[in-house]
Chains A and B, each alone.
Chain A
Amino acid sequence: MKEITYVEAIQQALWEEMERDDSVFILGEDIGAYGGAFKVTEGMQEKFGELRILDTPLSESGFTGAAIGASLVGMRPVVEMQFADFISCAFDQIVNVAAKNFYRWKAKTPIVIRAPYGGNIHGGAFHSQCPEGWFFHTPGLKIVAPAFPSDAKGLLKAAIRDDDPVIYFEHKYLYRRIKEEVPEDDYIVPIGEARVVKEGSDISLVTYGAMVHTALDASKKLEEGGISLEVVDLRTLLPLDKETVFDSVKKTNKVIVLYEATRTGGVGAEIAALISQEVFEYLDGPILRISAPDTPVPFSPPMEEYYLPQVADVVEAAEKLVAY
C-alpha cells in the first residue's frame, strides 16, 4: 500500500470510477482545463474529454438540477461544488428534487455532490462553513464526511455506486495535511458505518471530519493525565450508525460530542438526543457538546482560532466530565 494524501485519495476514487463506469461524469465550475479550485480534477479533462469533465457556468441550481436529470436517465453524475458554501444556491434542487424523487415517484437519483467544507484556512464567512446541518434535516439524502484518506477513497466510491443522492463533505483543511496508507485496489467503505478510530475506556468522543484529528490529538494529551478517550468517527452522518455510538456509550458511560459546525440544531444535538433517549441508563454524566459558537465563521486568525473547537477545549471538557 502506498501512503497518499486525503486529496489524492479523492482523486484516486474519481479516476477509478470514471475508468470503471462510462456513466460516471463530473460537472462543476472550473473543473476542466483549470483542474478545479483545489486541483482535484487536474488532468482529468485531457483523459476523459470535455463532456465527462464538464465545465459549467456559475449556476449551482442549474447544474445540480442537470445532474439530477442525467441521473434519472441512467448516468451517475458527480457534482463539484467549488466550495460547500455555494451549495446554498442549489438548496432547492437538493432538498426538494433529489431528496424526494425516490419517495415520491420511485425514481432513482444516483448523484454525488462533492462539497469542500470547513474552516481553519482563513477563508472567512463564505469559504469556511460546515453546512451539513442544513441537509442533515432532509430525509432522502445520504451524507458522508470522511476524516482519513482511506475513508475518503472508500466512501467516495461507495457514494458514486449508491442509487441515492449523496452529499460528500470533503474537509479542505485535510486535503494536503493528512497522509495514510490507502488500499490501491477497488476499496469501498460502506455508507452508514461509523468506526472507532481509537479505543478507550473513560469517555466516548463522537465526532467526524477534521474534528476527528482534534479529538485524536486531545486523546494523546489526556492519556498523559491518565484519562482514556475512545474516539468514534461517524464517517456517515445520514443515516447515522446509532449502534456503534451506543456500543461505545455502553462501554464508557460518558460522552462528548464534538463538531465544527455551529452549535444549535446540528448533528451533535441529534446524537445527544438519541443517546439520552435510547441508552440513558448507561449514562454516568451529562452529554457534553463542543462545537463552534452560533455565529458566522470570523476571518481574523485570533477570532477563527477562538471560534473553532480546539484540542484544549476537548481536554478541558474531558477533565470536567471524568470528575463528574
Chain B
Amino acid sequence: MDIDRDTLQQLYYYLKLTRHLEERVTSLYRQGKVVGGVWTSNGTEAVSVGFAYALEKDDITAPYFRDMGAFLVRGITPRRIMAQYFGKKTGVSGGKEGNVHIGDINFGVCGFPSHLADNYPVAAGAALAFKIRGEKRIAAACTGDGGTSRGDFHEALNLASVLKLPVVFFCNNNQYAYSMPHQKQMAIKDVAERALAYGMASEIVDGNDVVAVYSVAKKAYEKARAGHVPTFIECKTMRMHGHSEHDAAKYVPRELLEEWKKKDPIQRMEKYLIENNMASDEEMKEIDKRVQDVIEDAEKFAENSPYPDGKEAIEGLYATPIRKGVKEL
C-alpha cells in the first residue's frame, strides 16, 4: 500500500502524542495531581493510532482503555483529556467520568465501559444501523486479549458474521490480561483462531508496526464498506508497563520486556521515516515540538480549569426529562 508522506508523518505525530501525553499523565499521577488511577497504552500505541487513522470521518469507533491513540486521532483534544484526568468540569465528561473512560459521539467515539469487550456488540450495532439505512459507514471496535474470553466478544463476532455487518474488530494482544499471561487465558496460540469458529475472516498483524496496522485496517474497512464483510484483526504487541501505573508487573519476565523494547513502535516509525526519506530532520524536530507544546498547553488548561460543583452529580441522568412533577432523583 502506498502511503503518502503527510499520512506517515501524521501517524508518527499521533504515536508520539499518545506516548508523551500518557507519560506526562503518569508523572502527574506520581505527583498526586491526577484523580484516581492511570492506565496507559505504553508499548502498544501503534494499534490504536493505526486503526483509528484508517477510519473515515463519519465512521464510528468503540475503543477500549489502551486506545488513547484512537481518542486523539478522532479529534478529542489533549485539553479535554487532561482535564478528565484531573476530574475537572472541562474534561470530556464534565467530571462525571475519569481517565480513559472517554466517549464523545460528536467525534464518532463510543464511551468505554470497564467491562471489557462490552463495546464489541455496541460497534456491531452501529454497523447494523449503517446497513439498515444503506449508508457507506463502518464501525471499528477494539479490546485487549483478556476481553476476548468474555461472552460479549463471542456474541458480537457471531452476530456480526451471521448478520454480515460492516464492522472490524481489533484485538490489542499485549500478552497479559492484568497479571495473566496468554497461556493462562486461552488454550490457543493466536487470538485470531477465535474468529474461525464464527466464519469470520481474520488477520494477524505486527502491532508494533503502525504502517502495517494502518494498512491492514484500511483494507478491512474497504471490504466492510463495499460488501458488509466483518473482519477480526489481531495486533500482536506487548504491554510495556503494568496493567496500571500502580502495578509493578513483577509477574512479567524481564527478558520478555527487554526483547520487546527493541521493537518499540515509535523508534521503529522514526527509523522508517528516515530510511524511506519520508521526513527531514527538521520535520521530525517540528513534530516533537508540536507534541510538547500541545501537552504543556493541555496540562495548563487542566490545572487552571474549575472542578464541577458537587451538586452536578445529580444532574443529567435522563436525556428525556420526566414531564410530571416527578423529580429526576
| B320 contact set on A, CB distance < 8 A | 162-164, 191
A residues 188-224 in Cβ contact with B at 8 Å: 190-193
Known A74-B129, A93-B118, A190-B324; contact A107-B105, beta-carbon cutoff 8 A: yes
A190–B323 CB distance below 8 A: yes
Q: How far is the CA of A190 from the CA of B162 in the complex (A)?
A: 37
Which residue from B103, B122, B319 sits with its C-beta under 8 Å from A163? B319
CB distance from A159 to the nearest CB of B (A): 10
Q: Quote the shortest CB–CB distance from A267 to chain B (angstroms).
A: 15
Tell me if B205 is interfacial: C-beta within 8 Å of chain A: no
One of B60, B111, B155, B324 near A101 (C-beta < 8 A): B111
Bound form: Cα–Cα A56–B210 in Å: 36
A73 near B129: Cβ-Cβ < 8 Å: yes
| B28 within 8 A of partner (CB) | no
One of B11-19, B93-101, B272-280 at the interface: B93-101
Q: Are A105 and B93 in contact (CB under 8 A)?
A: yes
- CA gap between A192 and B325 in the complex, in Å: 9
Q: Which residue of A lies closest to B167 (CB)?
A: A69
Q: How far is the CA of A51 from the CA of B130 in the complex (A)?
A: 11
Which of A37-45, A57-65, A117-125, A178-186 participates in binding chain B?
Answer: A57-65
Type the 1/0 row for A146-161, where 1 means its CB is closer than 8 Å to any CB of B.
0000000000000000
User: A69 contacts which of B102, B110, B163, B328 (Cβ < 8 Å)?
Assistant: B110
CB of B131 within 8 A of CB of A96, answer: no
B126 contacts partner chain A, Cβ-Cβ < 8 Å: yes
Interface size on A, residues (CB 8 A): 54
Give chain A nearest CB distance to B103 CB in angstroms.
4
A284 at the interface (CB under 8 A from B): no
- A240 CB–B CB distance under 8 Å: yes
Closest-by-CB residue of A relative to B94 is: A106
A98 nearest CB neighbor, chain B only:
B122
A139 to chain B: closest residue by CB? B317
A65 contacts B326, C-beta separation under 8 Å: no
Complex CA gap A105/B103 in Å reads 6
Residue in A22, A54, A65, A72 whose CB lies within 8 Å of B120: A65
Q: A289 near B: Cβ within 8 Å? A: no
Task: List residues of chain A with CB within 8 A of the CB of B130.
Answer: 73
Q: Is there an interface contact between A241 and B324, defined as CB atoms closer than 8 Å?
A: yes
The answer to whether A66 touches B128, judged by C-beta atoms less than 8 angstroms apart, is yes
Residues in chain A near residue B254, CB distance under 8 A: none
Report A87 CB to chain B, min CB distance, Å.
15
B104 within 8 A of A: yes
Q: B326 contacts A192, CB within 8 Å? A: yes
- Docked pose: A142 CA to B132 CA in angstroms: 27
If A102-B316, A103-B96, A190-B324 touch, does A69 touch B123 (CB 8 Å cutoff)? Answer: yes
| Structural contact, A62 and B319, CB atoms closer than 8 A | no
- 0 or 1 for each of B193-206: is its CB under 8 Å from A? (1 = yes): 00000000000000
User: Which chain A residue has the least Cβ–Cβ distance from B114?
Assistant: A96
Using a CB–CB cutoff of 8 Å, the interface residues on chain A facing chain B are 22, 25, 51-52, 54, 56-57, 59, 61-75, 77, 92-93, 96-97, 100-110, 139-140, 142, 162-164, 190-193, 239-243
Q: Which 8 A-B pairs have the closest CB atoms?
A: A69-B125, A65-B121, A62-B155, A66-B125, A163-B319, A105-B103, A59-B155, A69-B122
- In the complex, 20 of the A-B residue pairs with CB atoms within 8 angstroms, ordered by the A residue number, are A59-B158, A62-B155, A63-B121, A73-B60, A73-B129, A75-B133, A96-B118, A97-B122, A102-B317, A104-B111, A105-B101, A105-B104, A107-B105, A140-B317, A162-B320, A163-B318, A164-B319, A190-B324, A192-B322, A241-B324
